[in-house]
Structure 1
């Protein structure tokens, strides 16, 4: 083999190594999850009075 025949292979190998030679940076699992509420908060749901049945049915 002559020097001219090995140069394209070496250049291609160097290019591959530059692109794929190292693993990408590690991503933490906490950074891959996006949390958002499934529904909007409803203030009517929080207005429940557990003692209301006493007032309605026992008085």
Structure 2
């Protein structure tokens, strides 16, 4: 019963001995999660043109030119 492995079979046996088997597949439904969005007060999504100067960066203004 002790057969000698040749070529591809020997490589496959060595690979299996070294790495074992692959993990089980994960279904797509198990990878995703549905979450309800929380209440929004509108501050994150709103755009205020008068308040954008706080975040504007200009090298000429920083250097006082």
Give yes or no for TM over 0.5.
no
Structure exhibiting the larger radius of gyration computed from Cα positions: 1
| Larger helix fraction of residues | 1
Query: Normalization by structure 2: what TM-score?
Result: 0.28
